[in-house]
């Protein structure tokens, strides 16, 4: 029997940590669906359409990966897709409590669906979408942490337009102080 897995998340934006998990999942399961949460209450930096486009672009070399979006309950979505597995990445102990609660709640909602935790490469164990946005906002480089397409879009949206490199004299564009 073919095993379909769903890898849900906000992916705002996708990082090399997410992509590491997707690659590992793609070797383990017959198909892995990256399911991006459509959540109008949570203000995302990138629109759902942009996030989908970026993940599609970043995963185009992996044949058994598809990208989709969902709203409502994750287990309902997984059931509709015929998925028996939910994949979540576990970076550090600090992730554990939230992930544990979520996995057990999902199990209570649908006991047929199993959550499988996967560890990304230790090189990405500290990496998060939130930190990536914060670093770009204050003028740092996230090169090597996100795909170039994400880097470019982040720089346009919240960076200083110089790709994380400070302008001449180390000063960022904008009002001089």
Catalytic residue ranges: 18, 42, 91, 129
Q: How many residues bind ligand PNS (CB under 6 A)?
A: 9
DSSP-derived letter for residue 54 is H
Nearer to ligand PNS, 64 or 115 (CB): 115
Which residues, in sequence order, are CB contacts of 126 under 8 Å at separation 6+? 91, 92
Q: How far is the CB of 98 from ligand PNS (least distance, A)?
A: 8
Q: Does 5 bind ligand PNS (CB under 6 A)?
A: no
Helix (H/G/I), strand (E/B), else coil: 110: coil
Pick the binder of ligand PNS from 62, 102, 131, 135 (CB under 6 A).
102
Pick the binder of ligand PNS from 15, 59, 106, 160 (CB under 6 A).
106
Q: How far is the CB of 71 from ligand PNS (least distance, A)?
A: 8
Token pair for 172: 């960022």
Pick the binder of ligand PNS from 4, 6, 7, 10 (CB under 6 A).
10
Nearer to ligand PNS, 80 or 173 (CB): 80
CB count, 10 Å around CB of 11? 25
Site for ligand PNS, residues 111 to 170, rule: CB under 6 A: none
**Phi, psi of 42, rounded to the nearest 5 degrees:** -100, 120
Is 12 within 8 Å of 37 (Cβ atoms)?
no
Quick one: which of 92, 86, 99 has its CA closest to 119? Answer: 92
Greatest C-alpha distance within the chain: 64
Residue nearest to ligand PNS (CB): 9
Of 45-53, 98-106, 131-139, 162-170, the window that binds ligand PNS (rule: CB under 6 A) is 98-106
Which residues, in sequence order, are CB contacts of 14 under 8 Å at separation 6+? 51, 54, 55, 58, 129, 146, 147, 150
Site for ligand PNS, residues 55 to 94, rule: CB under 6 A: 73-74
The residues binding ligand PNS (CB under 6 A) are 8-10, 37, 73-74, 102, 105-106
């Amino acid at each position: 029997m073919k095993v379909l897995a769903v890898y849900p998340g906000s992916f705002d934006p996708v990082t090399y940590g997410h992509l590491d998990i997707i690659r590992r999942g793609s070797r383990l399961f017959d198909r892995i669906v990256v399911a991006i949460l459509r959540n109008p209450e949570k203000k995302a930096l990138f629109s759902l359409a942009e996030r989908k486009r970026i993940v599609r672009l970043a995963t185009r070399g992996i044949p058994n990966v598809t990208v989709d979006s969902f709203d409502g309950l994750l287990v309902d979505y997984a059931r509709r897709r015929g998925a028996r597995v939910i994949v979540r990445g576990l970076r550090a102990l600090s992730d554990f409590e939230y992930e544990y609660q979520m996995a057990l709640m999902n199990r209570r909602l649908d006991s047929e669906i199993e959550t499988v935790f996967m560890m990304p490469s230790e090189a990405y164990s500290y990496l998060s979408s939130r930190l990536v946005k914060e670093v770009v906002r204050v003028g740092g480089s996230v090169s090597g942490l996100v795909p170039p397409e994400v880097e470019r879009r982040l720089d346009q949206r919240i960076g200083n337009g110089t790709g994380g490199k400070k302008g001449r004299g180390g000063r960022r564009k904008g009002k001089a102080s």
